[in-house]
Structure 1
Amino acid sequence: MNAPSLILYQRDDCHLCDLALEVLAAAGTPDFESAFIDEDAALEARYGARVPVLHDAASGLELDWPFDAATARRWLDAGRTSSPAAGEGGC
């Protein structure tokens, strides 16, 4: 079985990350992995202020927080061909 191509980058004890999980569930997001950036220097450097971020490993495209279920669904349905501009950042 192939690993999911979607990865949600997040932090421990991050209320925005918890909200993102709820939004992704409401959007009917297919299986994804959770990657916690807290103890990974490279991920911290890349995603530190941006989490939560939904990353498509197949295309390299990312959906930055804030997003709602409709935005996530459009991003997924469009084949992840575009990513909205970065929002206000995360935790």
Structure 2
Amino acid sequence: MPDLILYQRDYCHLCDLALAVLAEARAPDFESVWVEDSDELEQRYGIRVPVLRDARDGRELDWPFDAAAVRTFLARLS
């Protein structure tokens, strides 16, 4: 299982932009989790998506983020 999780929703243009930013930053594999599949996640992330989360330490990177912010976030993974 990847250490990174991207919380997102279907048909979310910001989520599509976040995916492009993650690709630009050359982020490692991550798990996509759709918040509308869970009441708990919907309550926690509903208006915050997209959110990139480090599953190991719980750090989160809220949108808006750019490739530089993602690289900085990822540098703390190593």
TM-score of the superposed pair, with normalisation by structure 1: 0.82
User: Take 1:17 and 1:5, find their aligned partners in 2: how far apart are those partners?
Assistant: 19
For these two proteins, the number of residue pairs brought into alignment is 77
Identity, in percent, stands at 64
Q: 1:51 corresponds to which residue?
A: 49
Structure ranking higher on relative contact order (CA contacts 8 Å, 6+ apart): 2
User: Take 1:53 and 1:10, find their aligned partners in 2: how far apart are those partners?
Assistant: 7
TM-score of the superposed pair, with normalisation by structure 2: 0.95
Structure 1 residues 7-59: Cα deviation after superposition (integer angstroms, max 9, x where no partner): 00000000000000000000010000000011210000100000000000001
User: Take 2:37 and 2:17, find their aligned partners in 1: how far apart are those partners?
Assistant: 22
Runs of 5+ consecutive residues of structure 2 not aligned to the other structure: none
User: Which residue type is aligned with residue 70 of structure 1?
Assistant: A
Q: Is structure 2 residue 26 aligned with structure 1 residue 24? A: no
**Counterpart mapping for 1:1-91 below 5 A:** 3-77=1-75, 79=76
Task: Report the aligned-residue RMSD.
Answer: 0.8
User: Take 2:55 and 2:73, find their aligned partners in 1: how far apart are those partners?
Assistant: 14
- 2:49 match: secondary structure: coil
Runs of 5+ consecutive residues of structure 1 not aligned to the other structure: 81-91
